A and B are shown apart, each in its own frame.
Chain A
Amino acid sequence: MKLQTATRLGLYAILELAREPDRTLSSAELAERFGVSGHHLAKVMGTLSSAGYVRGGRGAAGGYRFTGNRRRLTLMDIVALFEPAPGARPVEPGEQTDIGASLQKVLTEIDEIAEATLASITLETMLRSPPKVLSRKHPSP
Protein backbone atom coordinates (compact mmCIF):
# COMPACT_ATOMS: atom_id res chain seq x y z
CA MET A 1 0.00 0.00 0.00
CA LYS A 2 1.33 3.41 -0.99
CA LEU A 3 0.41 6.38 1.17
CA GLN A 4 0.85 9.97 0.02
CA THR A 5 3.62 11.85 1.83
CA ALA A 6 1.07 14.08 3.62
CA THR A 7 -0.73 10.98 4.95
CA ARG A 8 2.47 9.45 6.24
CA LEU A 9 3.48 12.73 7.91
CA GLY A 10 0.00 13.04 9.43
CA LEU A 11 0.37 9.57 10.95
CA TYR A 12 3.90 10.31 12.22
CA ALA A 13 2.79 13.59 13.79
CA ILE A 14 -0.38 12.29 15.45
CA LEU A 15 1.44 9.24 16.88
CA GLU A 16 4.33 11.38 18.13
CA LEU A 17 1.93 13.79 19.88
CA ALA A 18 -0.38 11.05 21.18
CA ARG A 19 2.57 9.24 22.71
CA GLU A 20 2.79 11.98 25.37
CA PRO A 21 -0.52 13.90 25.29
CA ASP A 22 0.64 16.53 27.81
CA ARG A 23 3.59 17.55 25.69
CA THR A 24 3.50 20.28 23.02
CA LEU A 25 5.69 20.21 19.92
CA SER A 26 5.87 22.86 17.18
CA SER A 27 5.56 21.88 13.55
CA ALA A 28 9.22 22.94 13.17
CA GLU A 29 10.23 20.46 15.90
CA LEU A 30 8.10 17.72 14.36
CA ALA A 31 9.53 18.47 10.90
CA GLU A 32 13.07 18.20 12.22
CA ARG A 33 12.27 14.91 13.93
CA PHE A 34 11.04 13.36 10.68
CA GLY A 35 13.54 15.11 8.43
CA VAL A 36 10.98 16.95 6.29
CA SER A 37 10.32 20.59 5.42
CA GLY A 38 8.55 22.70 8.03
CA HIS A 39 6.28 24.14 5.36
CA HIS A 40 5.04 20.69 4.34
CA LEU A 41 4.43 19.66 7.93
CA ALA A 42 2.63 22.93 8.80
CA LYS A 43 0.00 22.13 6.15
CA VAL A 44 -0.43 18.62 7.56
CA MET A 45 -0.83 20.02 11.08
CA GLY A 46 -3.48 22.42 9.79
CA THR A 47 -5.50 19.45 8.52
CA LEU A 48 -5.13 17.54 11.81
CA SER A 49 -6.12 20.69 13.70
CA SER A 50 -9.27 21.28 11.59
CA ALA A 51 -10.29 17.70 12.32
CA GLY A 52 -9.97 18.45 16.06
CA TYR A 53 -7.27 15.84 16.72
CA VAL A 54 -4.62 18.41 17.72
CA ARG A 55 -4.78 21.96 19.07
CA GLY A 56 -2.44 24.93 19.08
CA GLY A 57 0.31 25.94 16.73
CA ARG A 58 0.23 29.73 16.34
CA GLY A 59 3.19 30.54 14.08
CA ALA A 60 6.28 28.42 13.49
CA ALA A 61 7.17 28.25 17.21
CA GLY A 62 3.64 27.52 18.51
CA GLY A 63 3.28 24.07 19.98
CA TYR A 64 0.72 21.44 19.06
CA ARG A 65 -0.89 19.14 21.59
CA PHE A 66 -2.88 15.94 21.02
CA THR A 67 -6.58 16.45 21.75
CA GLY A 68 -8.07 13.24 20.32
CA ASN A 69 -9.01 9.99 22.04
CA ARG A 70 -6.15 7.47 21.79
CA ARG A 71 -8.49 4.54 22.38
CA ARG A 72 -10.99 5.60 19.71
CA LEU A 73 -8.91 7.21 16.97
CA THR A 74 -7.73 4.70 14.35
CA LEU A 75 -5.06 4.90 11.68
CA MET A 76 -7.91 4.96 9.13
CA ASP A 77 -9.36 8.14 10.68
CA ILE A 78 -6.06 9.88 9.95
CA VAL A 79 -5.58 8.31 6.51
CA ALA A 80 -9.12 9.40 5.53
CA LEU A 81 -8.18 13.06 6.15
CA PHE A 82 -5.52 12.97 3.47
CA GLU A 83 -6.44 10.25 0.97
CA PRO A 84 -9.48 10.44 -1.33
CA ALA A 85 -12.45 8.37 -0.12
CA PRO A 86 -12.83 5.13 -2.13
CA GLY A 87 -16.17 6.32 -3.53
CA ALA A 88 -14.77 9.73 -4.53
CA ARG A 89 -12.14 8.21 -6.80
CA PRO A 90 -12.47 9.26 -10.46
CA VAL A 91 -13.23 6.47 -12.96
CA GLU A 92 -9.99 5.48 -14.70
CA PRO A 93 -9.84 5.17 -18.49
CA GLY A 94 -10.78 1.64 -19.55
CA GLU A 95 -12.42 0.83 -16.22
CA GLN A 96 -15.82 0.25 -17.82
CA THR A 97 -14.56 -2.47 -20.17
CA ASP A 98 -14.92 -6.09 -18.99
CA ILE A 99 -11.17 -6.38 -18.40
CA GLY A 100 -11.12 -3.03 -16.61
CA ALA A 101 -14.02 -4.13 -14.40
CA SER A 102 -12.35 -7.45 -13.49
CA LEU A 103 -9.14 -5.66 -12.60
CA GLN A 104 -11.10 -3.14 -10.54
CA LYS A 105 -12.67 -6.01 -8.56
CA VAL A 106 -9.19 -7.23 -7.57
CA LEU A 107 -8.06 -3.71 -6.65
CA THR A 108 -11.21 -3.15 -4.58
CA GLU A 109 -10.56 -6.41 -2.72
CA ILE A 110 -7.07 -5.16 -1.82
CA ASP A 111 -8.43 -1.75 -0.75
CA GLU A 112 -11.03 -3.38 1.50
CA ILE A 113 -8.38 -5.44 3.28
CA ALA A 114 -6.14 -2.37 3.69
CA GLU A 115 -9.04 -0.32 5.03
CA ALA A 116 -10.06 -3.04 7.49
CA THR A 117 -6.49 -3.21 8.77
CA LEU A 118 -6.13 0.56 9.19
CA ALA A 119 -9.59 0.90 10.79
CA SER A 120 -8.84 -1.81 13.34
CA ILE A 121 -5.64 -0.27 14.72
CA THR A 122 -6.23 2.48 17.28
CA LEU A 123 -3.46 4.89 18.27
CA GLU A 124 -3.52 3.18 21.69
CA THR A 125 -2.87 -0.24 20.11
CA MET A 126 -0.11 1.23 17.96
CA LEU A 127 1.62 2.99 20.86
CA ARG A 128 1.43 -0.07 23.11
CA SER A 129 3.21 -2.29 20.56
CA PRO A 130 6.37 -3.96 21.83
CA PRO A 131 9.55 -1.86 21.57
CA LYS A 132 10.94 -3.95 18.72
CA VAL A 133 8.00 -2.75 16.61
CA LEU A 134 7.85 0.83 17.80
CA SER A 135 11.06 2.13 19.31
CA ARG A 136 10.78 5.05 21.69
CA LYS A 137 14.20 6.25 20.58
CA HIS A 138 14.55 8.96 17.96
CA PRO A 139 17.49 9.27 15.61
CA SER A 140 19.73 12.05 16.91
CA PRO A 141 19.31 15.22 14.85
Chain B
Amino acid sequence: MTTIRPAQASDLQAISALDQRETGVAKPDYWREMLAPDRHFLVAETEQGSLAGFIAGEIRAWEFGQPAAGWVFAIQIDPELRLKSIGSALFDALVARFKAKGVTRVRTLVERKDHLILSFFRAQGMVAGPSLQLDMDLS
Protein backbone atom coordinates (compact mmCIF):
# COMPACT_ATOMS: atom_id res chain seq x y z
CA MET B 1 0.00 0.00 0.00
CA THR B 2 1.21 3.49 -0.76
CA THR B 3 0.18 6.71 0.93
CA ILE B 4 -0.39 9.90 -1.01
CA ARG B 5 0.46 13.20 0.67
CA PRO B 6 1.70 16.69 -0.29
CA ALA B 7 5.41 16.84 -1.09
CA GLN B 8 7.74 18.47 1.45
CA ALA B 9 11.22 19.94 1.21
CA SER B 10 12.56 16.70 2.70
CA ASP B 11 11.24 14.77 -0.35
CA LEU B 12 13.12 16.89 -2.89
CA GLN B 13 16.26 14.82 -2.98
CA ALA B 14 14.39 11.57 -3.69
CA ILE B 15 12.11 13.30 -6.24
CA SER B 16 15.05 14.82 -8.08
CA ALA B 17 16.93 11.51 -8.04
CA LEU B 18 13.97 9.52 -9.43
CA ASP B 19 13.42 12.11 -12.15
CA GLN B 20 17.09 12.18 -13.06
CA ARG B 21 17.17 8.39 -13.24
CA GLU B 22 14.26 8.39 -15.69
CA THR B 23 15.02 11.47 -17.78
CA GLY B 24 18.81 11.67 -17.51
CA VAL B 25 18.63 15.35 -16.56
CA ALA B 26 19.02 16.78 -13.05
CA LYS B 27 16.72 19.75 -12.36
CA PRO B 28 16.65 20.23 -8.57
CA ASP B 29 15.72 23.95 -8.84
CA TYR B 30 12.67 23.12 -10.94
CA TRP B 31 11.43 20.64 -8.32
CA ARG B 32 12.08 23.10 -5.48
CA GLU B 33 9.89 25.68 -7.27
CA MET B 34 7.10 23.10 -7.45
CA LEU B 35 6.78 23.37 -3.66
CA ALA B 36 5.32 26.89 -4.06
CA PRO B 37 1.98 27.22 -2.24
CA ASP B 38 -0.04 27.75 -5.44
CA ARG B 39 1.25 24.49 -6.90
CA HIS B 40 -0.06 20.98 -6.23
CA PHE B 41 2.85 18.66 -5.66
CA LEU B 42 2.00 15.19 -4.33
CA VAL B 43 4.10 12.16 -3.55
CA ALA B 44 3.24 8.47 -3.16
CA GLU B 45 5.15 6.88 -0.31
CA THR B 46 5.70 3.16 0.27
CA GLU B 47 4.98 1.50 3.62
CA GLN B 48 8.72 1.66 4.27
CA GLY B 49 8.63 5.43 3.79
CA SER B 50 10.49 5.56 0.47
CA LEU B 51 9.35 7.47 -2.61
CA ALA B 52 7.17 5.45 -5.02
CA GLY B 53 6.28 8.34 -7.31
CA PHE B 54 5.13 11.92 -7.59
CA ILE B 55 2.83 14.20 -9.57
CA ALA B 56 2.96 17.97 -9.95
CA GLY B 57 0.42 20.42 -11.29
CA GLU B 58 -1.17 23.83 -11.01
CA ILE B 59 -4.43 25.59 -11.81
CA ARG B 60 -3.89 28.24 -14.47
CA ALA B 61 -6.47 30.53 -16.03
CA TRP B 62 -6.23 32.25 -19.42
CA GLU B 63 -3.03 30.54 -20.49
CA PHE B 64 -3.24 30.61 -24.28
CA GLY B 65 -6.65 32.28 -24.01
CA GLN B 66 -8.31 29.36 -22.28
CA PRO B 67 -10.38 29.38 -19.07
CA ALA B 68 -9.07 27.86 -15.84
CA ALA B 69 -7.81 24.29 -16.08
CA GLY B 70 -5.73 22.06 -13.86
CA TRP B 71 -2.40 21.42 -15.57
CA VAL B 72 -0.39 18.28 -14.93
CA PHE B 73 3.25 19.29 -15.31
CA ALA B 74 4.97 16.06 -14.36
CA ILE B 75 4.34 12.51 -13.20
CA GLN B 76 6.95 9.89 -12.43
CA ILE B 77 6.69 6.43 -10.87
CA ASP B 78 9.60 4.27 -9.72
CA PRO B 79 9.91 1.75 -12.62
CA GLU B 80 10.05 -1.16 -10.15
CA LEU B 81 6.71 -0.13 -8.67
CA ARG B 82 4.81 0.37 -11.92
CA LEU B 83 1.63 -1.53 -12.87
CA LYS B 84 0.38 -1.20 -9.29
CA SER B 85 -1.99 1.71 -10.04
CA ILE B 86 0.21 4.19 -8.13
CA GLY B 87 0.16 6.55 -11.12
CA SER B 88 -3.63 6.34 -11.32
CA ALA B 89 -3.91 7.00 -7.58
CA LEU B 90 -1.65 10.09 -7.87
CA PHE B 91 -3.61 11.33 -10.88
CA ASP B 92 -6.94 10.83 -9.06
CA ALA B 93 -5.60 12.66 -5.99
CA LEU B 94 -4.45 15.62 -8.09
CA VAL B 95 -7.75 15.74 -9.99
CA ALA B 96 -9.64 15.69 -6.67
CA ARG B 97 -7.66 18.75 -5.55
CA PHE B 98 -8.36 20.52 -8.83
CA LYS B 99 -12.07 19.75 -8.50
CA ALA B 100 -12.11 21.02 -4.91
CA LYS B 101 -10.86 24.35 -6.30
CA GLY B 102 -13.79 24.44 -8.74
CA VAL B 103 -11.87 23.48 -11.88
CA THR B 104 -13.72 21.31 -14.40
CA ARG B 105 -10.92 20.46 -16.80
CA VAL B 106 -7.53 18.80 -16.49
CA ARG B 107 -4.82 19.23 -19.11
CA THR B 108 -1.30 18.09 -19.90
CA LEU B 109 1.29 18.02 -22.68
CA VAL B 110 2.91 14.77 -23.75
CA GLU B 111 5.73 14.04 -26.16
CA ARG B 112 3.85 12.40 -29.02
CA LYS B 113 6.44 9.66 -29.49
CA ASP B 114 6.20 8.69 -25.82
CA HIS B 115 3.48 6.09 -26.24
CA LEU B 116 3.86 4.80 -22.67
CA ILE B 117 2.88 8.05 -20.98
CA LEU B 118 0.32 8.83 -23.70
CA SER B 119 -1.31 5.45 -23.00
CA PHE B 120 -1.30 6.22 -19.27
CA PHE B 121 -3.20 9.49 -19.69
CA ARG B 122 -5.56 7.90 -22.24
CA ALA B 123 -6.33 5.15 -19.73
CA GLN B 124 -7.28 7.87 -17.22
CA GLY B 125 -9.88 9.05 -19.76
CA MET B 126 -7.94 11.98 -21.27
CA VAL B 127 -8.42 12.69 -24.98
CA ALA B 128 -6.94 15.20 -27.45
CA GLY B 129 -7.70 18.72 -26.23
CA PRO B 130 -8.75 21.83 -28.14
CA SER B 131 -5.20 23.11 -28.72
CA LEU B 132 -2.39 22.12 -31.02
CA GLN B 133 1.11 22.74 -29.73
CA LEU B 134 3.42 24.42 -32.26
CA ASP B 135 7.22 24.71 -32.17
CA MET B 136 9.92 26.37 -34.23
CA ASP B 137 13.61 25.63 -34.27
CA LEU B 138 15.56 28.85 -33.60
CA SER B 139 19.06 27.47 -33.98
Contact = CB atoms under 8 A, between A and B. Distances in A.
B53 to A, nearest CB: 19
Contacts of B113: 112, 116
A125 B122 contact: yes
Place the interface of chain A in its size category. 10 to 19
A128 B113 CA distance: 24
Contact of A116 (B112, B123, B125): B112
A130 to B, nearest CB: 8
Interface string B117-133: 01101110100100000
A113 B112 contact: yes
Contacts of B101: none
At the interface, is chain B mostly helix, strand, loop or mixed?
helix
A122 B115 contact: no
Interface string A107-118: 000001100110
A128 B123 CA distance: 9
At the interface, is chain A mostly helix, strand, loop or mixed?
helix
B123 A124 contact: yes
Interface string B98-114: 00000000000000110
Contacts of B121: 120
Contacts of B115: 74, 116, 119-120
A116 B125 CA distance: 16
A117 B118 CA distance: 8
B119 A74 contact: yes
A121 B115 CA distance: 9
5 contacts: A74-B115, A112-B113, A116-B115, A117-B128, A120-B115
The 6 lowest CB-CB distance pairs between A and B, nearest first, are A120-B118, A116-B112, A119-B115, A120-B119, A125-B123, A120-B122
Given A119-B118, A119-B119, A120-B115, 18 more contacts: A74-B115, A112-B112, A113-B112, A116-B112, A116-B113, A116-B115, A117-B128, A119-B115, A120-B118, A120-B119, A121-B119, A122-B119, A122-B122, A122-B123, A124-B123, A125-B119, A125-B122, A129-B125
